[in-house]
Chains A and B, each alone.
Chain A
Amino acid sequence: MSGERARTGALPITAEQPTTGALPITAEQPTTGTLPSTAEQLIRAAAPTPVLEIRGLRLAFQGEERRTVALDGIDLVIAPGEAVGVVGETGCGKTVTGLAAMRLLPASARLTADVLQFDGRDLLTLDDGALRRIRGAEVAMIFQNPTSAFNPVFTIGAQMADVLAAHDRERGDAARERIRIVMASVGMPDVERVMRAYPHQLSGGMLQRAMIATALLCRPRLIIADEPTTALDVTIAAQILALLRRLQLDEGFSVMLITHDLGVVRRVCDRVAVLYAGRVVESATTEALFAAPQHPYTRGLLAAVPRTSASSGPLQTIPGSVPTDIGSITGCAFAPRCPVVQDRCRAEAPWLRDLEPARAAACHFPGVSVVSA
C-alpha cells in the first residue's frame, strides 16, 4: 500500500515549499489519486510557481539483460531564487536527477514522473525543439570537469558566441559585448585574452569561471551545477562557490547544486535534499539540517566527516556500503546500515513526510539516535 502512495506522488507538500513558506501544512492530508488536495491548492495559489517541480520521479536504465533502477521516487521542488543542494554518495542518483531535469538522459533511460515541470511547463511532453530552447538558455548546466566541458579546438569566445547564436540572441559585436559583460561579472581577469584562448591555455579555475559565464549568457532561471568545485583546489573552490552564491543572490536565478560534500552545501545553499538509494531521505533548510539532522543517514554522514578541530577516538562510520540493486529493496533502503533499525523498517519503506514546516524525512523513527531497549 505504501508503495502505491509514493507512486501517486500525492503525498504532503514537504520539501516543496519555498523557504519562506511558513504556511501550515498538515502531514497527513487525505489524498485521493493524484488530484491536489485542498490544502495543496491553497498553497499553490499562495506560492509562486516553482522553477523546478519534481514529484515521484522514477528512472531505470534498460540494459540487454536487466533493468537497473536509478531513481525510486524523487520529490524535489526549487522555488525562484532559491539554491537547493542535492547531496549524496556515489550511486545515490544525484547526477541523474539533474540530467533528468533537463531531459538529457540516454535512450536506455525509462523515465516516469507524476510531475516534472520547469516553470510550470511539463518537461515530459515538450518536444525536442522546445527542450532545446530551454536547455542552455532557461536552464543552464555547470559540470564538474571544466576541461572536458569545452571543445578543445575552438576558442572560449567562439564557444560562448555559439550559445548566444543557438538561442537567437545577440550576434557579432553585440554578442562580444554580452560576453564581455558576463565575463566581467564572474571576475574573469584579462577578458580579451581569455576570449581568444583555447581551453588548454586556461587553468581549471579560469575554465570554471568561463563555464559559469557561459551559463549566465542567456540569463537562465535555473542553473544546475554538478560538483562544480570538486576538481578544483580548495582556495580556488572557495572563490568559485562565493562567486556562484553572489551571482545567484544578485541575479535572482535558482540553483540546483549537486555535490557529495556537505560542507559545500552549507556554504552556498538555502535548502538541502539528502539522497540515498534513489530517494530523498531528508529535506530541510540548510540551517535546520545541520543543526538537527533527523534521518540516521544524514546524521551518519555528518559524523563521518573528519574535522580540523579536536579529534578523539575513531571516526564514526556507516557500516556496509550503498545498495547496488535499488529495484529489489523491500523496506527502508538504509535499514541494513542503520544504527537504530527496527523491525518495521525492514518490512515497510518509509515515505518522505513532514516533520514540521519546511522539513521532511523518510524515516519511521526520525530524530531517534538511540535504540530503545
Chain B
Amino acid sequence: MSTAVQGGTLSAPLVRLSGLVKEYPAYVAGRGNVTIRAVDRVDLDIAPGEAYGLVGESGSGKTTLARCLLRLVDTTAGRIEVAGQDVTNATGAGLRALRREMQVVFQDPVGSLDPRSRVADVVAEPLRTHLRLGAKEIEARVLTLLDEVGLGRTFLGRRAHELSGGQCQRVAIARAVALRPRLLVLDEPTSALDVSVQAQILNLLADLRREHGLTYLLISHDLGVVRYLCDRIGVMYLGRIVEQGPAARTMAAPTHPYTQALLASRPSVDGVEGVALVRGEPPSLTDPPPGCSFHPRCWLRAELGDPDRCVDEPPDLRVLAPGVTAACHFAPATPTTDHAPVPR
C-alpha cells in the first residue's frame, strides 16, 4: 500500500488538476443557447495519503469537479492526472486501469445500490469486473470487505430495501474499497444520514484511510465533517476555488470573506459566535458577476465602502500565509490565529 504522507508536498501528487474547466450548454429564456462554466480554471494537487475536503454551496462546482476527475464526464479544457496518468484523454484499457485506482461513494445510500442485487453481489461486482478470481476467492474477499465496514455474514443475502441508510452506506463503502483503490471520492457521504449514524460512518472512513493509506477527495457542505476527516480544504464559489489551506487553520482563521461567512452561517451546537448574513443569493451561473464573483454579496467589500476593484478585476489566488491561498483583493495577508471577526 502507498505510504501515507499527511499534507505531504515532497512526493509527487496523486491527483493533479491543472486549469480544469467544465462547461455545459444551457438555455436561457430571452437569450437562447448559452454556455455555463461550472468549473472555472481550477488547479489542485492532492498528495498520496492526503484527505482533501471540498466545500461550497449548491452550484459551486464541487460535484462537477469530482465527476470530471472520475471521468464520468469529459472536461472542456485543462488536464487531470491521477498517479501520473492522464485521465482527460484516457481510453479503453488505460481508462479501465485508472478506474481501479479511483472509486466513489455517493450521497444517496439507498439509491446508489441496485435494489435487486444482494449485498454479496454488490460488493463482488467490481471484483468480477476487474479481476479474474474464482468464486471461492471472491466470497472470501467479500466477507473480508464486509467485516472491514462492520457488517457480518448475515448481510450477504440482503437487498438495499432491507438495510438502514447507514448499512447501505457501509455496503457502498465496501464496494468502493473492494479493488483497493488509491483514491476514494466521497460525495456528501453522510448528508442523508442521522447524526448518530453519521458519526459511525465518519469513524469508519477515518479508520479505512489509516489502515489502507487511502487518499480522499471529500465533498461536503458540512464544515464539521470536512474538519473531522480532512487535512486540507478548498472552498469553492461559482466554479472557482476561492480559498485553500490546512483544514484546522482555515476553520480557525479563515481569510476569504466568503469562507468567514460560511463558518459564521453554520448553525453550531456550541453556541452562536455571531450571524453573518451574506447579502442576497448566490448568482446564477448563466450570469456570473464581473470581477470577483462574490462581490455582490461580500460583507467585506461593503465594509470597505464598495471599492471598484472587486467589480473590475477578478482576484487571483494569492498566498496569504504558509499553505494558505485565497482569491480576494482585500483579505489580510496575516490572518490572526483566533476566529476572524464576525461580519455583521
Chain A interfacial positions (CB closer than 8 Å to B): 89-90, 189, 203, 205-206, 233-239, 241-242, 260-264, 266-267, 290, 300-302, 304-311, 314-319, 321-322
Within 8 Å CB of A261, what residues of B?
267
Contacting pair B228 A306 (CB below 8 A): yes
B-to-A contact residues, CB < 8 Å: 57-58, 164-166, 194-200, 202-203, 206, 221-225, 227-228, 248, 251-252, 261-272, 275-278, 280-282, 297
Partner of B268, one of A205, A266, A321: A266
A242-B277, A308-B224 known; A317 vs B199 contact (CB < 8 Å): yes
**5 tightest Cβ-Cβ pairs between the two chains A and B:** A263-B267, A306-B224, A238-B265, A233-B57, A318-B196
Report B24 CB to chain A, min CB distance, Å. Answer: 19
Whether B263 lies near A308 (C-beta < 8 A) is yes
Contacts of B227 in A (CB 8 A): 306-309, 311
Instruction: Report the separation of the CA atoms of residues A236 and B265 in the bound assembly, to the nearest whole angstrom.
Output: 8
Say whether B281 contacts A305, CB under 8 Å. no
Residue of A with least CB distance to B225: A306
Q: How many A-B residue pairs have CB under 8 A?
A: 120
In the bound complex, do residue A306 and residue B202 qualify as a contact, i.e. CB atoms below 8 Å apart?
yes
Chain B neighbourhood of A317, CB < 8 A: 196, 199-200, 203
16 contacts between A and B (CB under 8 A): A206-B281, A236-B57, A260-B195, A263-B267, A263-B268, A266-B271, A267-B275, A301-B196, A304-B199, A305-B199, A306-B199, A307-B227, A308-B266, A315-B199, A321-B164, A322-B194
Chain A positions within 8 Å of B270 at CB level? 307, 309
Among A203, A263, A321, the residue within 8 A (CB) of B266 is A263
| A282 CB to nearest chain B CB (Å) | 15
**Inter-chain contacts of B280 with A (CB < 8 A):** 189
Hey, which chain A residues are within 8 Å of B58, CB to CB? 233
In the assembled complex, which residues on chain A have CB atoms less than 8 Å from the CB atom of B225?
306
A302's contact among B206, B228, B269, by CB below 8 Å, is which? B269
Shortest C-beta distance, A62 to chain B (Å), equals 22
> In the assembled complex, how far is the CB of residue A191 from the closest CB belonging to chain B, in whole angstroms?
15
Sample of 13 more A-B contacts, CB < 8 Å, known A238-B266, A266-B271, A314-B206: A89-B194, A233-B221, A235-B282, A236-B281, A237-B265, A238-B267, A263-B268, A267-B267, A267-B275, A305-B195, A311-B228, A315-B202, A317-B203
In the bound complex, how far is the Cα of B281 from the Cα of A267, in angstroms?
A: 21
Minimum Cβ distance to chain B for residue A24 (Å)? 30
Closest-CB distance, B224 to chain A (whole angstroms)? 4
Chain A positions within 8 Å of B194 at CB level:
89-90, 260, 322
B278: A residues at CB distance < 8 A: 235, 238-239
Q: How far is the CA of A305 from the CA of B203 in the complex (A)?
A: 12
